[in-house]
Amino acid sequence: MSMEGAAWNSLYRISRAGDGDRRISRATLRRIIDFAGPYRRRLAGFVLLSVLGAVLAVATPVLAGDVVNAIVAESPAGTVVRLALLIAVVAVADAGVTLATRWFSARIGEGVILDLRTRVYDHVQRMPVAFFTRTRTGALVSRLNNDVIGAQQAFSGTLSGVVGNLVSLVLTLIVMLGTSWQVTLLAMALLPVFLLPARRMGGRLAALRREAANHNASMGTQMTERFSAPGATLVKLFGRPEQESAEFTVRAARVRDIGVKTAMMQTVFVTALTLVSALALALVYGLGGWFALTGRLNTGDVVTLALLLTRLYAPLTALANARVEVMSAVVSFERVFEILDLKPLIQEKPEPAPLPEGPLSVEFDDVRFAYPTADKVSLASLEDVAVLDSRGGEQVLHGISFRVEPGQTVALVGSSGAGKSTIAGLLARLYDVDAGAVRYGGTDVRDLSFADIRRALGMVTQDGHLFHESIAANLRLARPEATDGELWDALRRARLEDLVRSLPDGLDTMVGERGYRLSGGERQRMTIARLLLARPRIVLLDEATASLDSTSEAAVQAALTEALAGRTAVVIAHRLSTIRSADRILVIEGGRIAEQGTHADLLARGGRYAELYRTQFSEGDAVNGGSDAGGAREPAAVPQPGQ
């Protein structure tokens, strides 16, 4: 490595230091060593090759000096040829070692990335929904990308760098001191001139780099939010695009200014250190040449010292920054371990109970529940806050008990925040109850496997979420092995077949981010088609038609006829007209069942249900099925099996 290269390398590493003063936890080091267990043999080979590469790097300057000495001494031509051939052999060996070292580095580094990413991704998927409602998606993705790669550097870069540089430094010092201790000590005297500016300049560059990273992160967040379909719509309606552009321009301009300043600081730094390097080289040639002319040093030794000079400065500067590199890698591991140490609140039993065959009942038995506090499901670093919110933990369900017999439909109604969606989350085991039990066919859901729960329950939510994938891929989330014929059948039953066949790419049509290339009603029917493909025995509808117009709702209701036929169903509805024919209606208020009965019974009682119903419809409209308060036609009720 040249002096200029050593300067750039030193500056690059120091400028990325952010945690060099932190102490390294022994527990973290033990975990890192345990994590490296599967790569023990490859790491050993990697280290040995790094040592061999360092030895070969020192051998070439020594042989070059021997060649010069042989020429000056007018040795036989064969001697010079043999030395030249030996230099060629060393060069070939060095190339081979470099390739082998790179192969080991790539295999170990990419293997670590695969293991860490897979482990974190699998772990995150097991986290409860409360984790995702609190976490910033960008921060979580950063752990899977930036921090995983930073941890990988501990094996593929830092380890070999420390070992190789240490061996190279020791060998270089031995050879240089043995050749001329006077020249070596004078060359070492210039080392502080090389290192001290690097640390001062590196600190300033690190601060600029962090500021630029923060601005880039802010711009990334702004782009992610504003470039999504709902975000872009919101900006066009209320966001004042000119102001949005001005804010973005300010951040982008600051990043530009930082880039210019950084480039100039780096150039000044490297130019200055290159000058120092040239002075050091001049010292070697000057003092060494004088020693050679006075007979105190061979001519070839001067060449050897000059060539070894870069192999002295480069390892020294790298080792001076070794703690920074090690600490950066350890911090990355700590950030990854931080995610892995966050225990999922919902765990599957080692030996789950089997789910009964045939139609299933649903039962809530004296269920009590409070949403978990932030410290149980999240991290401050993932929420971009200094301290986690301490609020929460208050009970929101107070002794909920009801039973849905196989094939029945039970509807849940009530005010916003009454606890309806919480009941849905517990039924799907997105959360676990604090007391009581939720049962499928008499078996507590906590005793079932996650796979059995997913096969038994199908859910349609209000937003009808779809991934930015093809129609076929979105449908096959329910059944990956489903044939195209089965997909078309599900689309037909969901009243979507004609629409999809009219599309140029048919089943391969991309639906867009969150399915925004489809209308609200089409998205809902897509989720119903997915439900039909899954063939669940229990259906959960959480406000499945709340945001649809009357025309779209009629199409969705027709599709729901297929989804509910012969299945146990729990329907959460805001529009009371859609659940009039349910077998039973539960009125949820304040986390309790305030009333229950059929539509007619509850109206006759004149209680909370009747009050909610009158709020949505006039008495005449409710009786005659006419217009609602806004003049729209009252939608048809959910058909029941057999109707």
User: DSSP states of 20-65 as a string?
Assistant: TTSPPPHHHHHHHHHHTGGGHHHHHHHHHHHHHHHHHHHHHHHHHH
The pLDDT assigned to 629 comes to 32
The pLDDT assigned to 325 comes to 66
CA distances from 433 to 309, 356, 364, 436, 513 (A): 69, 22, 10, 7, 33
List the strands of the sheet with 538-542, edge to edge: 457-460, 538-542, 568-572, 409-414, 584-589, 592-597
Q: Which two tokens stand for residue 219?
A: 């711009």
Task: Tell me which DSSP letter residue 635 carries.
Answer: P
- What is the rounded CA–CA span in Å between residue 379 and residue 389? 10
- What is the rounded CA–CA span in Å between residue 121 and residue 451? 18
Q: Which two tokens stand for residue 216?
A: 């880039």
> With the CA atoms of 620, 623, 625 and 631 taken in that order, what torsion angle do they form, in degrees rounded to the nearest 10?
20
Phi, psi of 537, deg, nearest 5:
-90, -20
pLDDT in tens, 524-537: 888 888 888 888 89
Query: What are the extents of the domains in the chain?
Result: 3-340, 362-374+393-624
- CB contact set of 449 (below 8 Å; sequence gap of 6+): 348, 349, 352
Ordered DSSP codes for 199-235: HHHHHHHHHHHHHHHHHHHHHHHHHHHHSSHHHHHHI
Strand pairing class (538-542; 568-572)? parallel
Phi, psi of 526, deg, nearest 5:
-65, -45
pLDDT averages per 10-residue partition of the chain, 643 residues: 55 51 69 80 84 86 87 86 91 91 82 83 84 76 75 69 79 85 80 65 67 72 72 70 81 87 77 74 85 86 84 70 68 81 86 89 94 78 66 84 92 88 91 93 93 88 81 89 91 86 90 77 84 88 67 67 78 77 90 92 90 68 37 36 34
Q: Which two tokens stand for residue 409?
A: 């439909």
Strand pairing class (584-589; 592-597)? antiparallel
- What is the rounded CA–CA span in Å between residue 336 and residue 325? 17
Q: Which residue has the tokens 């092995």?
A: 481
- What is the rounded CA–CA span in Å between residue 589 and residue 566? 29
- What is the rounded CA–CA span in Å between residue 387 and residue 555? 48
The Cβ-side half-sphere exposure at 26, using a 13 Å CA radius, reads 0
- What is the rounded CA–CA span in Å between residue 500 and residue 410? 33
Per the DSSP assignment, residues forming a β-bridge with 444 are: 439
Question: Which of 500, 502, 475, 498 lies closest to 486 in space, CA to CA?
Answer: 475
- What is the rounded CA–CA span in Å between residue 301 and residue 281? 14
User: What SS3 state is found at 544?
Assistant: coil
The pLDDT assigned to 183 comes to 84
Taking a C-beta distance cutoff of 8 angstroms, is the pair 466, 526 a contact? yes
Side chain identity at residue 243, one-letter code: Q
Tell the burial category of 281 from Cβ atoms under 10 Å away from its Cβ (0-12, 13-18, 19+): middle
Q: Which residues of 518-530 are buried (b: 16+ CB within 10 A; e: fewer)?
A: bebbbbbbbbbbb
Contacts of the segment 381-390: beta carbons below 8 A, 24+ positions apart: 381/139, 381/335, 381/338, 382/134, 382/135, 382/136, 382/139, 382/140, 382/143, 383/134, 383/135, 383/136, 383/139, 384/136, 384/139
Handedness of CA 177, 183, 188, 191 (dihedral sign): negative
Report the predicted TM-score, pTM, of the whole model to 2 decimal places: 0.67
- What is the rounded CA–CA span in Å between residue 515 and residue 319? 53
Per the DSSP assignment, residues forming a β-bridge with 569 are: 409, 539
Phi, psi of 357, deg, nearest 5:
-80, 165
Handedness of CA 502, 503, 506, 507 (dihedral sign): negative
Mean residue pLDDT across the chain? 79
The verdict on domain 3-340 having CATH code 1.20.1560.10 is yes
Class of domain 362-374+393-624: alpha beta
Q: Which two tokens stand for residue 596?
A: 């229950």
